[in-house]
Amino acid sequence: MPLVYLPGMESEASERQRKARKIKPQYSEGRLVKVAYASNQPEAELIETLLLEEGIPSLSRRSGGFDVPDFLAAGPRDILVPESGAEAAREALAPPLPDEAPGTDVEPEALSPDAER
């Protein structure tokens, strides 16, 4: 990569560069801690994508006792993030509270069977 910008030298960013641009630096420091568990590799990749959209770097590794190459994509995975991003990752992966869930802005009186129509 040249140190000087030259017109016409733009190149398409690689998948790795696009991912790196999404990561927030404040979430990338400290030792790795487990924040989630996935049943298999596709589920782990989904969780990693959710965290990346929040700017939190993550990686998955096979859970202890399941590091057998014959499992391929099967087998449980641990989702690890840097210590500085652990709290934000847990918040991003937490289920919404009942008052934050979509469709809960209906008045309680409107839900009762005795409500006037």
Determine how β-strand 32-38 pairs with β-strand 77-82. antiparallel
DSSP string, 37-102: EESSHHHHHHHHHHHHHTT---EEEEPTT---GGGTT-S-EEEEEEGGGHHHHHHHHSPPPTTTST
> With contact defined as beta carbons under 8 Å apart, do 9 and 2 qualify?
yes
Determine the pLDDT at residue 20: 85
Does CATH place domain 19-95 in 3.40.50?
A: no
Cβ neighbours for 88, distance < 8 A, ≥ 6 positions apart = 27, 54, 56
User: pLDDT per position in the chain (117 positions), as tens?
Assistant: 556 666 776 677 788 888 888 889 999 999 999 999 999 999 999 999 999 999 999 999 988 877 777 778 888 999 999 999 999 999 999 988 777 656 555 555 554 555 554
Domain range list for the chain:
19-95
Between CA 73 and CA 77 the distance in angstroms is: 10
pLDDT at residue 117, as a whole number? 47
What per-residue confidence (pLDDT) applies to 108?
Answer: 54
Predicted local confidence at residue 102, as pLDDT? 61
pLDDT, residue 33, reads 96
pTM of this prediction exceeds 0.75: no
Q: 32-38 and 59-62 as β-strands: parallel, antiparallel, unpaired?
A: unpaired
